[in-house]
Amino acid sequence: MPSQPTETVPPAADIAVKRGRPGYDQQSVLRIAVEVFNKHGYEATSMGILAENLGISKSAIYHHVPSKEALLRLALEQALGGLEGILAEPDANTGPASSRLEYVLRRTVAVLTDKLPFVTLLLRLRGNTEMERDALARRRDFDHRVAGLIGNAQQDGSLRQDMDPRTITRLLFGTINSIVEWYRPGGSLSPERLADDVIRMAFSGLHN
Protein backbone atom coordinates (compact mmCIF):
# COMPACT_ATOMS: atom_id res chain seq x y z
CA MET A 1 0.00 0.00 0.00
CA PRO A 2 1.31 3.50 -0.72
CA SER A 3 2.38 5.43 2.32
CA GLN A 4 0.04 8.16 3.51
CA PRO A 5 1.38 11.72 3.36
CA THR A 6 2.13 13.24 6.73
CA GLU A 7 0.73 16.63 7.64
CA THR A 8 3.23 19.40 8.15
CA VAL A 9 2.09 21.77 10.89
CA PRO A 10 3.43 25.29 10.40
CA PRO A 11 5.22 27.04 13.27
CA ALA A 12 2.92 29.00 15.57
CA ALA A 13 4.22 32.30 14.19
CA ASP A 14 3.22 31.22 10.67
CA ILE A 15 -0.37 30.24 11.50
CA ALA A 16 -2.31 33.19 10.19
CA VAL A 17 -4.75 34.93 12.47
CA LYS A 18 -8.21 34.60 10.93
CA ARG A 19 -11.50 36.19 11.86
CA GLY A 20 -13.37 33.07 10.77
CA ARG A 21 -17.10 32.69 11.31
CA PRO A 22 -19.15 35.36 13.15
CA GLY A 23 -18.83 35.17 16.93
CA TYR A 24 -15.36 33.62 16.90
CA ASP A 25 -11.82 34.58 16.10
CA GLN A 26 -8.77 32.37 16.28
CA GLN A 27 -7.98 33.27 19.89
CA SER A 28 -11.47 32.47 21.14
CA VAL A 29 -11.39 29.14 19.30
CA LEU A 30 -7.99 28.44 20.82
CA ARG A 31 -9.16 29.31 24.34
CA ILE A 32 -12.11 26.93 24.18
CA ALA A 33 -10.02 24.22 22.49
CA VAL A 34 -7.47 24.32 25.30
CA GLU A 35 -10.23 23.97 27.89
CA VAL A 36 -11.48 20.89 26.02
CA PHE A 37 -7.96 19.45 25.66
CA ASN A 38 -7.42 19.82 29.40
CA LYS A 39 -10.78 18.22 30.19
CA HIS A 40 -10.63 15.22 27.86
CA GLY A 41 -6.91 14.97 27.05
CA TYR A 42 -5.42 16.16 23.78
CA GLU A 43 -5.27 12.74 22.13
CA ALA A 44 -8.84 11.86 23.12
CA THR A 45 -10.23 15.13 21.73
CA SER A 46 -11.48 14.85 18.17
CA MET A 47 -12.41 17.69 15.89
CA GLY A 48 -16.00 16.56 16.38
CA ILE A 49 -15.73 17.09 20.14
CA LEU A 50 -14.19 20.52 19.54
CA ALA A 51 -16.98 21.44 17.14
CA GLU A 52 -19.60 20.34 19.67
CA ASN A 53 -18.08 22.49 22.41
CA LEU A 54 -17.71 25.46 20.08
CA GLY A 55 -21.23 25.09 18.75
CA ILE A 56 -20.06 25.15 15.14
CA SER A 57 -19.40 22.56 12.46
CA LYS A 58 -16.06 20.83 12.01
CA SER A 59 -15.62 22.53 8.65
CA ALA A 60 -16.12 25.92 10.35
CA ILE A 61 -13.14 25.23 12.64
CA TYR A 62 -10.92 25.07 9.56
CA HIS A 63 -11.77 28.70 8.85
CA HIS A 64 -9.67 29.48 11.94
CA VAL A 65 -6.89 26.86 11.98
CA PRO A 66 -5.72 24.16 9.55
CA SER A 67 -5.78 21.28 12.08
CA LYS A 68 -6.03 20.13 15.67
CA GLU A 69 -2.23 19.95 15.72
CA ALA A 70 -2.07 23.64 14.79
CA LEU A 71 -4.24 24.45 17.80
CA LEU A 72 -1.83 22.52 20.02
CA ARG A 73 1.15 24.37 18.58
CA LEU A 74 -0.50 27.75 19.20
CA ALA A 75 -1.40 26.74 22.75
CA LEU A 76 2.08 25.50 23.60
CA GLU A 77 3.61 28.68 22.23
CA GLN A 78 1.45 30.69 24.62
CA ALA A 79 2.93 28.76 27.56
CA LEU A 80 6.51 28.33 26.39
CA GLY A 81 6.83 31.79 24.88
CA GLY A 82 5.72 33.28 28.18
CA LEU A 83 8.22 31.25 30.20
CA GLU A 84 11.14 31.74 27.82
CA GLY A 85 10.45 35.46 27.64
CA ILE A 86 11.16 35.74 31.38
CA LEU A 87 14.79 34.79 30.85
CA ALA A 88 15.23 37.62 28.33
CA GLU A 89 13.95 40.29 30.70
CA PRO A 90 16.56 42.72 32.12
CA ASP A 91 15.97 41.81 35.79
CA ALA A 92 16.62 38.16 34.98
CA ASN A 93 20.08 39.05 33.69
CA THR A 94 21.42 41.76 35.99
CA GLY A 95 22.33 41.84 39.66
CA PRO A 96 23.25 39.10 42.14
CA ALA A 97 22.30 35.53 41.21
CA SER A 98 19.91 35.21 44.15
CA SER A 99 18.03 38.36 43.09
CA ARG A 100 17.82 37.10 39.51
CA LEU A 101 16.56 33.73 40.75
CA GLU A 102 13.88 35.33 42.90
CA TYR A 103 12.79 37.47 39.97
CA VAL A 104 12.56 34.47 37.62
CA LEU A 105 10.55 32.44 40.13
CA ARG A 106 8.18 35.33 40.82
CA ARG A 107 7.65 35.92 37.09
CA THR A 108 7.16 32.19 36.50
CA VAL A 109 4.27 32.21 38.96
CA ALA A 110 2.87 35.29 37.19
CA VAL A 111 3.04 33.63 33.76
CA LEU A 112 1.51 30.44 35.12
CA THR A 113 -1.46 32.22 36.67
CA ASP A 114 -1.93 34.47 33.63
CA LYS A 115 -1.79 31.57 31.15
CA LEU A 116 -3.07 28.85 33.45
CA PRO A 117 -4.94 26.68 30.88
CA PHE A 118 -2.01 26.82 28.44
CA VAL A 119 0.60 25.90 31.06
CA THR A 120 -1.69 23.14 32.34
CA LEU A 121 -1.75 21.67 28.84
CA LEU A 122 2.05 21.91 28.60
CA LEU A 123 2.54 20.12 31.92
CA ARG A 124 0.24 17.27 30.86
CA LEU A 125 2.08 16.45 27.63
CA ARG A 126 3.27 12.87 27.28
CA GLY A 127 5.76 13.38 24.48
CA ASN A 128 3.88 11.16 22.03
CA THR A 129 4.56 13.33 18.97
CA GLU A 130 7.53 15.26 17.67
CA MET A 131 5.76 18.53 18.48
CA GLU A 132 5.21 17.43 22.08
CA ARG A 133 8.81 16.24 22.43
CA ASP A 134 10.07 19.59 21.11
CA ALA A 135 7.89 21.41 23.63
CA LEU A 136 9.14 19.25 26.49
CA ALA A 137 12.73 19.85 25.40
CA ARG A 138 12.14 23.61 25.51
CA ARG A 139 10.68 23.29 28.99
CA ARG A 140 13.69 21.23 30.14
CA ASP A 141 15.99 23.92 28.76
CA PHE A 142 14.12 26.52 30.81
CA ASP A 143 14.53 24.38 33.94
CA HIS A 144 18.25 23.86 33.23
CA ARG A 145 18.79 27.60 32.94
CA VAL A 146 17.07 28.13 36.28
CA ALA A 147 19.27 25.40 37.77
CA GLY A 148 22.25 27.41 36.49
CA LEU A 149 21.01 30.44 38.42
CA ILE A 150 20.68 28.32 41.54
CA GLY A 151 24.24 27.06 41.07
CA ASN A 152 25.52 30.61 40.69
CA ALA A 153 23.70 31.69 43.85
CA GLN A 154 25.27 28.78 45.71
CA GLN A 155 28.72 29.72 44.47
CA ASP A 156 28.43 33.32 45.66
CA GLY A 157 27.25 32.13 49.07
CA SER A 158 23.72 33.51 48.95
CA LEU A 159 22.15 30.01 48.93
CA ARG A 160 23.09 26.96 50.98
CA GLN A 161 25.63 24.75 49.26
CA ASP A 162 24.75 21.34 50.70
CA MET A 163 22.03 20.60 48.14
CA ASP A 164 22.31 19.65 44.48
CA PRO A 165 21.03 22.58 42.35
CA ARG A 166 19.11 20.12 40.18
CA THR A 167 17.30 18.82 43.26
CA ILE A 168 16.45 22.37 44.31
CA THR A 169 15.15 23.08 40.81
CA ARG A 170 12.93 20.00 40.84
CA LEU A 171 11.55 20.86 44.28
CA LEU A 172 10.89 24.48 43.35
CA PHE A 173 9.16 23.64 40.10
CA GLY A 174 7.31 20.76 41.69
CA THR A 175 5.80 23.35 44.02
CA ILE A 176 5.15 25.93 41.31
CA ASN A 177 3.77 23.43 38.79
CA SER A 178 1.31 22.09 41.36
CA ILE A 179 -0.42 25.48 41.25
CA VAL A 180 -2.22 24.46 38.05
CA GLU A 181 -4.07 21.74 39.96
CA TRP A 182 -5.60 23.94 42.63
CA TYR A 183 -5.29 27.65 41.85
CA ARG A 184 -8.48 29.38 40.73
CA PRO A 185 -8.09 32.84 39.15
CA GLY A 186 -10.42 35.47 40.54
CA GLY A 187 -10.49 33.97 44.03
CA SER A 188 -9.31 35.47 47.30
CA LEU A 189 -5.66 34.58 46.60
CA SER A 190 -4.22 37.07 44.10
CA PRO A 191 -1.37 36.11 41.77
CA GLU A 192 0.87 38.64 43.54
CA ARG A 193 0.16 37.17 46.98
CA LEU A 194 0.67 33.67 45.62
CA ALA A 195 4.08 34.65 44.23
CA ASP A 196 5.00 36.25 47.57
CA ASP A 197 4.08 33.05 49.43
CA VAL A 198 6.09 30.87 47.04
CA ILE A 199 9.15 33.12 47.40
CA ARG A 200 8.89 33.23 51.19
CA MET A 201 8.64 29.45 51.47
CA ALA A 202 11.46 28.88 48.98
CA PHE A 203 13.91 31.33 50.54
CA SER A 204 12.87 31.51 54.18
CA GLY A 205 11.09 28.24 54.87
CA LEU A 206 8.21 27.86 57.29
CA HIS A 207 10.02 28.58 60.57
CA ASN A 208 9.23 31.79 62.45
pLDDT at residue 205 in the model = 85
In this predicted model, what pLDDT tens digit does every residue of 73-99 receive, in sequence order?
999 999 999 999 999 999 999 999 999
What residues of the chain score a pLDDT lower than 70? 1-23
pLDDT at residue 175 in the model = 95
pLDDT at residue 16 in the model = 44
Out of 1.10.10.60, 1.10.3470.10, 3.40.640.10, 1.20.272.10, select the CATH number for domain 12-69.
1.10.10.60
Domain ranges of the chain: 12-69, 76-204
**Helix residue ranges per DSSP H, 156-190:** 165-177, 179-182
Looking at domain 76-204, its CATH class is mainly alpha
**Helix residue ranges per DSSP H, 41-187:** 47-54, 58-61, 68-86, 97-114, 116-123, 130-155, 165-177, 179-182
pLDDT at residue 207 in the model = 78
How far is CA 60 from each of CA 47, 103, 149, rounded to the nearest angstrom? 11, 43, 47
Would the CATH topology of 12-69 be identical to that of 76-204?
Answer: no
pLDDT at residue 12 in the model = 56
**How large is the angle between the packed helices 26-40 and 47-54, nearest 10 degrees?**
120
pLDDT at residue 23 in the model = 62
